[in-house]
Structure 1
Amino acid sequence: MDTKLKNISRSPLTKSIASILIIILISMMILQLVYIDYTNLEIESIFITEYKNSKIFADEVNKAIHDTYKLLKSETSIRLKDLNYIYLVSDNNKSLTNSVYHGKEVYEENKDGFFSYENGIYTVGETTNSSLINGFPEDEQYIMYIAFPDRFMKEQQKLWNEAGQILTKIILWIILCLVLSSLLLFYLISVTGRKVGTDKLCTLWIDNVYTEVLFLGFTPSMVWISFLPQIVSHEEYIGYSLNHIQMKSMYLIGVITALTIIICGISLLSWIRKIKSGRFIKDSICHKIIEKVNMNIVNLKSYSLTKSLYQRQIVFIITSGILILFIFLFISMPLLMITFLTIQMLFIYWYIRCNNKTFDEINKGFNESIEEQMRSERMKLDLITNVSHDLKTPLTSIISYIDLLSKEENLSRDAREHVNILIEKSDRLKNIVIDLFDLAKSTSGDINLELEIIDLKKLIEQTLGDMEDDIERTGLQIKTILPEKPVNIVADGKRLYRVFQNIIDNALKYSLKGTRIFIELLVEDDGKAFVNIKNIAGYEMNFASKEILQRFSRGDQSRTTEGSGLGLSIAESFTNVCGGNFKIDIDGDMFKVIISFETVQLAEV
């Protein structure tokens, strides 16, 4: 079920639907904001239920007060047109009004929008919000009555309620679009670069573009955001509907917004894929430049050929820059321009030819170095093979004569002890020679393998059974965790037996007394079998896992225990030639060997 859901989520169709929905949702959010701007819908209408208590009305009241006062103090005749209020203002010299009524009681009838100033004191209507007034001009020598008719206030209240309802729906819709688009964007970010049927990260051609260049994909959005307020058309409107000019503008804004989102989305998802693959910084121009500079600095210190190449490159850049400058300067003089262009072409030819020669010399030196290393490695292997082979014959004779000597009955007690020591040391020398010979053959690849299907579980049990005496002598306990069913692999049984024998022998020699050795066989769902052999070291392991796998390397630096230092190296080499993988993990005092093989399934009969 999980695999099916993963396949659906990574499906190109699902990704395409999510991308289209994001474009639609974000475009709709932008268009809703443009609609609010077109129709001058006030956000305040959501929070304040009555128009008479709004800041919009307060601004209109204060403007009316100041405009009327200016009208009184003006020496010329000024007429205020298209007013939403009636006023009466007078002083000792003149009296002005835009109404046929001159009594205060007529103005006071407008209880929601009445303001008066007399004898330095201002008053408001019965239900008028007094906090709306910033203050009448301080001058006791005038009288001012201002009233917003009840009819006007009712119409404004109706529009105010309508605006609040529209804005509430728009804001809820914007929040919904924002949440859905955010969830879809998070989904695209999580699945981008992932395809059905594989966990490998897949990249697109655009991911090869430099990181800084991809930033240009965000430029259209920045330009569009900065120009959008200037494009919005503020034509006259009736209620909260749009006229045909504004409708056309909305369509255009929607199309441009969608295109901008597509460009930004492509750049963003490419950035995400770069981050997932660890290429975000590596693919940047700045990183490339710094890497080039560092490389040149390092190479200049080491190689004379690359130093000359670097110097030639500097000369080429500077000279080419000067020649190109002259070409542009003399573009109006064809003869001189062609001359400098010809020089530039010849200079490019010289640069390419000299660089090819330098590259050939570098490649030649590189190939010679590789051949020398391979020759040296072959000589080492041949030396080990020949020496171990030449040691076998005299060593066999020595062991034979020691065996004959041990059978003599007239030997003294001291002589018998000396013979026993010779037997012990000759056996150890024989094992070292055999180890050297086996290691040389497996490393060189000159080894005959008898590959067959073997049961890894039985091989481990057989090895432990054959080494039972050695295990009892050490006093260590071995804890095995093996599966009930056979674990079949393809390998050389004799070589793999030697691998487990060497590893267990190594654990018996170097484990802390009183501890246990753990051998665990695991089979994973992907068809791999893992053998984990763990023990606690009886000494301080101040070495790395790679060092212990080197030839003649021993963890016991004091060399108080027996061993040639070849056991683990042979185990690794035999594991590799059998097609397995050999790994050592050191965690504090824990020494762990991990061997893995591909399992095979036998056909059921």
Structure 2
Amino acid sequence: MFAVCVISFLGMVAGTVYALLLNSNAWQMYDGNLWYLLMPGEFDTERVRELWDAYGGQLHYIRIEMLVFLGMAVGLALLCLGTLIALLVRTTGPDETGIVPLRKVDHWWTELQVLLLGAAGAAGGIAFLRIFAAAAVQTRWVGLYNPEYHYAYTGGYPVMLLYAAAVLVGLFSAGLGLMLMLSLVRKVRAGQFISRSLFGLIIYEPLKKLYHGSGVMRKIILIALGAALVCMTIVGAPLVFGLVLVIGPRYVNKFEAIKEGVRQVNEGNLTYQIPVDPHSSSELDSLGREINRIFDSSSKAVQNEIRNQRLKTELISNVSHDLRTPLTSIITYLDLLKSEDLKNERAAEYLDVLEKKADRLKQLTDDLFEAAKASSGTMPVEFTTVELGSLIRQTLGEFDRRIQDSRLTFLVAPAEVKYYVRADGQLLYRVMENLVGNALKYAMPGTRVYISISAHATSGPAVGVVTMEMKNISSQPLNIEADELMERFKRGDEARATDGSGLGLAIAKDLLKLQNGRLDIAIDGDLFKVTASMDAAEPPFIETEEESLFVEAEEESEAAEEGTEDPKQDPLDQDK
């Protein structure tokens, strides 16, 4: 469509040039009146009859040529106008989002585009018209060919070479002009005609920001301009310098106070208040007051959230406690029923089912109660030095029967190195119990579960960090984010075909948090990896047998020395 518009424009210009040259060469034959030439029947006067009687043969051919040239110019003008309108609608309109898309040429400065458009229209147009007219006067048609001006006007260049040069110049000039015109229209419709110009960059945009900016911006610019004008005088420069030394530190201190307040809140101190002058209406004091209001709102929101969490935890704890009492009675009476001599064989099966479901309900209640206590942060923690590898092997020993039934193979590495952590032994055992139980429930049967322990040095006061990683292949597709698995009652088994409660990982995370540890989960396809990090501890001192014998020998030697008599003691005193 772009090419059609350019070619039709050049064709329109060519038809117009042909018609003008024809009229210039033959106007004397019809007194310069085109109506005498085009419609002689409508103007049946004596002068028209004289002209047609004198030049009838030539006027007949000239009339045909003029109709062809004028029809060519008008038809191609309409085609050019239609394609131009279509281009404007198609290339300068908004897209599906309502935004006018810009192209590379649209990023040129507007002044440069206007200059290039003017050059393409003026210089290119003049060059095209001169070359095309030079070729046209050599065309040996009845009305166009003028032997008198033939060589003087053209310089003797071949006609086809002149036409080729005219076409090249015309295509380049018209194509460049059309491209720049469409670009300018796009910028106008996108509202960036001025903003993408040097005038807009240097003058318009700064004035626009100043006009639409805040009062602070206007004040700063006006003060800066005023100070610059005052500094031009001999007396004004010291005055401005003194005012800067007096007023500047006050505003800098206020800015530093606001900066400190933001830093305090960023570190978690939501009760911090920025010191402001309650009677001042300056911008920095107003900003400080607004920030203090934000701090107050954030603090209230945090306090409400903490209160809601505490109430929710207390509710879960109370409900779990209330459920445990009747559940314990149910389990007790089930045991009593099993000890009775029931003659009905199906009754024994029913009792087994009831016992399994009661145990299942008891486990869920215990998990719920423990999750509530762990998340509340009120569970007592007694820190000791725990050897992590021994605790893991002890946990695997407790689950030995279930491990054999699951056909899983647990591999612990390294087995010969001991890693000591600072933790609560009972709580850490509960963490490992939950992690091993999670692997038994959700790992693919017949696969391996890898447990690795490593230590890393830290730059803080702690001895280091000990990390335990447990990796296994899931039996079900893990179409869930890792963070979601850490939430309560969230399970990777969407079908809920296993006996899990969705609390094991959440409890392990909260228990590790109480011990200053961290629990992380990573999922890679069907590979499930859980990482537990804890503070390392110094190995406990273990007294060897040789050291014990040496200590006993020293104690016996000291006792013997205390029991011997002093050689300087008086014999009379010995008798006494």
What's the TM-score, normalizing by structure 1?
0.44
TM-score by length of 2: 0.46
Between Structure 1 and Structure 2, whose CA radius of gyration is higher? 2
